[in-house]
Each structure stands twice: as structure tokens, then as C-alpha cells.
């Protein structure tokens, strides 16, 4: 069984834990309400006012002026996250963090030591509460896809186990957009086809789905049957780092596309630098509204973690190998692979002065992000007109 642990309103809960006077009040962590900041996290009290993460802070303020607005302390949350991870690692080395507040674990090999995966999951949830005073929602299921659905099913403070025989009864009534890869727009496509639930999707044949959505159809068919072959990959062995986003509305403006790609490239580059890695290969993924999906990759002569260098490559891949767009785009993603450690500190003979300047810019921007939160300093292109 795979375990998925998702911290409830993580940033906000950490703040509440440290400042008991906040308990019971709506707490919003994020950029300032008078600027252009966005909500990074909102506690459940705030969510009852309709506030959710990624909402402009100004809008959150309008919804609930009496909420407590706090600037994020990312470094501190990362520390807490590390402590949570240490708890996971008591039970298994197979921990795959997805972000600061979420991780997959595969504890099957530890069952003889600590009991069933289900009981390990309970111990983890309990350890997090008693040692760190934080509440987690936990899902236990035969694979990653189901484990993540399970942890989300009874949030907050959930604990949901899906056994083999419960898979279809659990999945069938869920709305199709709960399938990984189907967003709000995808759901609309299914709506038109008269498919609203996973169960209805499952009634369709694999051939029908593949004919309609290509490879993605195969993926949907597998998920609808509760199948997911992905294994838990511990972070330190990461082979690639990627970000992708599904647009709320399909995009046909190349500039909007590029602005989103740049934002994701910044995030990928930031994660590379945090992990002390450089990448040689940059890849782009583009999914059209009809789910036709293209990927293109380019391998660089020298590995890099410079945002500028990665962006130049991603931008060129888009310009030369994916444009012009043949239809509106529903998803774009950028990823890097062929990773190498930077810990050698060996300097390069042919490094250009430009590379050194890039490093300075990145270091500065990382410092600013660490201090003021991601998005505090942004490249001009990523700002929407």
C-alpha cells in the first residue's frame, strides 16, 4: 500500500500553532492585501469565507476584512517540513515529497518492523500531531493516484484507507475532474459527452477513449480503473524536475503562453539550485484543447541551473519546434533532466562572463524569494498586462 500525507492548511496551521491567540480566527498567509500578492495558504476558518490559495490577497481582504493577514515565513515552514520528513523516515526511506506539505511513502518493506501500512500511516499521523502539534490528512491505497484521492477525501484531519475491493465503489461516484490530468476545462469536454462521473467514464471502452484522446485516453482509462503504475521515487534520486499547468481557459495567445512558461522555468530553476543540481536537458510539453500532446527536448552543451539559460532553451524550443500553434492550448509544462550535482565546485574553463552574471542574478533572486516569499521578485515578462 502507498501512503499519502497532506498537511492541512500547512502554512496557516504552523502560524496558528505558534500563536495560540490566532486559534478560531480566519488566518491568511500570503502577499500583502494592498499589493498584488496572492494567498499562499488560508486556514479552514478563512476558507468558510470563500478564501482559497492562489486568490489575490486583495480579494481575500474584501471577502473577510477581519482575517489575520500574515507574511509567509518560507524558510521556517521548510524547517517544519524537514521535521515532518524525519518522522516519515523513521518508518521508510522511500519518501517522495511533492512540496513542503505533501509526500508519498511506500512502507511495504517496513511492514514486518512496524505493522501494516495502514498502522504505519496511523502512527505517522499521530507522531505529527503529538510531536509537532500539526494535523495531517492521510490516505492509504494500493497506488499513488488512489492514495492522493484518499487523503483528500475526508479533509481536514482525514484518515481514509482504500482496499483493493473498495476501489471501484470509491471511484465510480467521483466527478471526472478528480482524475489526474482532467481539470475544469477537461470536465467541460466530458460534460458535453454526457460523462460526469468516473463510473460513467469507466463504462466507455479503452478504444473509444484512445480514439478520442490519444495516449491521454489510455491514461484516463487506467485511472478510471484505479490503476497507476508509478512508483514512489525518493527525492535524492530525482531524475528530472518539472512543472506544468492546465489553464482555466484554453490559451491561443503566444505571449500568455510564454509568460506562464517563464514562471514555471523560474520555479524549475529554483528547485534545481535548491537541490544543488544542474541540468543538461530541457523539455517542453504542450497539450492542445483536443488533448493532442507534444513534447520536445533539447540537450545543452553544458549543464546549467541558470534561469536565463534554461529559459533561452525553452523559449527556443517553443519558437522553433512547436510554433505556430495549431489550436488553443490547454496545458504547458517545462522540465529538466540529465541532472548533475554542483557540489564539486569545480570551475569551468569556458564559462563566460555572462554565466557568472547569471549566477549572481539567480543567487540574489533566490535570497529575495527565501526572505519575502516566491513571487516577491519577478521577471517582467511574467507580469500579466
Partner 1 sequence: MKFKVQRENLLKPLQLVSGVVERRQTLPVLSNLLLSAEADKISLTGTDLEVELVAELKTSVDEAGEITIPARKLLDICRTLPEGAQLEIVVTGDKAQLKSGRSRFSLSTLPASEFPSVDEIHGMRQFEIGQGELRRLIERTHFCMAQQDVRYYLNGLMFEIEGQSLRSVATDGHRLAMSDLVTSADVGENQQVIVPRKGIQELARLLVDDDERVQIHLGNNHIRLQLPGLRFTSKLIDGRFPDYQRVLPKGGNKLLTAECAQLKQALIRTSILSNEKYRGVRLQLDNGRLRILAHNPEQEEAEEELEVEYQGDELEIGFNVTYLLDAINAIVGDKVTISLSDANSSCLIQEPAEGSSKYVVMPMRL
Residue from 194, 229, 349, 353 touching partner 1 (CB under 8 A): that is 349
Binding of residue 302 to partner 1 (CB under 8 A): yes
Of the ranges 102-110, 269-277, 304-312, 341-349, which one interacts with partner 1 (CB under 8 A)?
A: 341-349
Q: Which is nearer to partner 1, 149 or 310 (CB)?
A: 310
240-279 footprint of partner 1 as x/- string (CB under 8 A): ----------------------------------------
Three-state DSSP state, 351: coil
- Find the binder of partner 1 among 126, 255, 276, 299 (CB under 8 A): 299
What Rg value do the Cα atoms of the chain yield, rounded? 22
Closer of 205 and 344 to partner 1 (Cβ): 344
- Asked if 316 and 270 touch (Cβ cutoff 8 Å), the reply is no
237 contributes a contact to partner 1 by CB under 8 A: no
Residue 358 CB, nearest approach to partner 1 (Å): 16
Strand partners, 378: none
Confirm or reject binding of residue 229 to partner 1 (CB under 8 A): no
Distance CA 102, CA 137 (A): 10
Instruction: Point out the residues that are catalytic.
Output: 102
Nearest C-alpha neighbor of 78 from the set 54, 103, 101: 101
165 near partner 1 (CB under 8 A):
no
Shortest distance in whole angstroms from residue 321 CB to partner 1: 19
Of residues 310 and 331, the one with the C-beta less far from partner 1:
310
Least distance from C-beta 302 to partner 1, angstroms?
A: 7
Grid cell locating 276: 544543488
Tell me how far apart the alpha carbons of residues 199 and 195 are, in angstroms, rounded to a whole number: 9
**Quick one: residue 304, left, alpha or beta (phi over 0 = left, psi -120 to 50 = alpha)?**
beta
For residue 183, the minimal CB distance to partner 1 (Å) is: 36
- For 17, the grid coordinates are 500553532
Does residue number 343 form part of the binding site for partner 1 (CB under 8 A)? yes
187 is a site residue for partner 1 (CB under 8 A): no
Cβ contact 275:249 at 8 Å:
no
Stretch that binds partner 1, among 115-123, 193-201, 324-332, 348-356 (CB under 8 A): 348-356
Classify residue 155 by burial, with Cβ atoms within 10 Å: 0-12, 13-18, 19+: middle
Strand 329-341 relative to strand 68-70: parallel, antiparallel, unpaired? unpaired
Measured from the CB atom, is 205 or 350 closer to partner 1? 350
Contacts (Cβ under 8 Å, ≥6 apart) of 120: 3, 91, 92, 107, 110, 111, 114
- Name which position in 192, 344, 353, 385 contacts partner 1 (CB under 8 A): 344
**Which residues of this chain interact with partner 1, rule CB under 8 A?**
280, 299-302, 343-350
Amino acid at each position: 500500500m502507498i501512503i499519502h500525507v497532506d498537511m492541512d492548511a500547512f502554512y496557516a496551521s504552523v502560524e496558528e500553532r505558534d500563536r495560540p491567540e490566532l486559534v478560531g480566527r480566519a488566518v491568511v498567509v500570503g502577499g500583502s492585501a494592498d499589493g498584488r500578492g496572492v494567498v499562499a495558504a488560508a486556514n479552514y476558518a478563512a476558507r468558510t469565507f470563500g478564501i482559497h490559495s492562489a486568490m489575490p490577497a486583495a480579494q481575500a481582504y474584501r471577502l473577510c476584512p477581519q482575517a489575520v493577514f500574515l507574511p509567509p515565513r518560507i524558510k521556517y515552514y521548510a524547517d517544519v517540513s524537514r521535521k515532518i520528513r524525519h518522522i516519515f523516515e523513521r518508518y521508510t526511506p522511500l519518501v517522495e515529497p511533492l512540496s513542503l506539505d505533501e509526500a508519498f511513502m511506500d512502507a511495504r518493506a517496513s511492514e514486518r518492523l512496524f505493522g501494516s501500512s495502514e498502522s504505519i500511516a496511523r502512527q505517522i499521523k499521530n507522531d505529527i500531531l503529538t510531536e509537532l502539534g500539526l494535523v495531517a490528512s492521510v490516505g492509504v491505497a494500493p497506488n499513488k493516484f488512489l492514495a492522493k484521492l484518499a487523503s483528500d477525501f475526508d479533509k481536514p484531519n482525514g484518515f481514509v484507507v482504500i482496499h483493493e475491493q473498495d476501489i471501484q465503489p470509491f471511484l465510480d461516484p467521483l466527478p471526472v475532474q478528480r482524475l489526474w490530468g482532467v481539470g475544469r476545462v477537461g470536465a467541460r469536454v466530458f460534460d458535453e459527452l454526457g460523462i460526469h462521473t468516473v463510473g460513467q467514464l469507466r463504462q466507455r471502452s479503452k478504444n473509444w477513449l484512445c480514439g478520442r484522446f490519444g495516449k491521454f485516453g489510455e491514461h484516463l482509462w487506467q485511472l478510471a480503473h484505479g490503476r497507476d503504475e508509478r512508483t514512489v521515487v525518493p527525492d535524492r534520486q530525482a531524475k528530472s524536475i518539472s512543472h506544468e499547468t492546465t489553464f482555466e481557459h484554453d490559451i491561443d495567445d503566444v505571449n500568455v503562453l510564454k509568460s506562464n512558461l517563464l514562471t514555471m522555468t523560474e520555479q524549475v530553476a529554483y528547485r534545481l539550485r535548491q537541490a544543488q543540481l544542474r541540468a543538461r536537458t530541457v523539455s517542453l510539453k504542450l497539450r492542445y484543447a483536443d488533448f493532442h500532446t507534444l513534447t520536445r527536448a533539447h540537450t545543452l552543451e553544458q549543464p546549467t541551473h541558470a534561469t536565463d539559460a534554461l529559459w533561452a532553451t525553452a523559449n527556443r524550443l517553443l519558437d522553433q519546434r512547436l510554433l505556430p500553434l495549431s489550436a488553443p492550448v490547454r496545458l504547458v509544462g517545462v522540465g529538466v533532466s540529465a541532472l548533475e550535482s554542483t557540489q564539486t565546485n569545480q570551475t569551468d574553463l569556458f564559462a563566460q562572463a555572462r554565466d557568472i552574471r547569471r549566477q549572481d542574478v539567480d543567487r540574489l533572486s533566490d535570497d529575495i524569494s527565501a526572505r519575502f516569499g516566491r513571487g516577491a521578485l519577478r521577471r517582467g515578462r511574467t507580469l500579466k498586462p
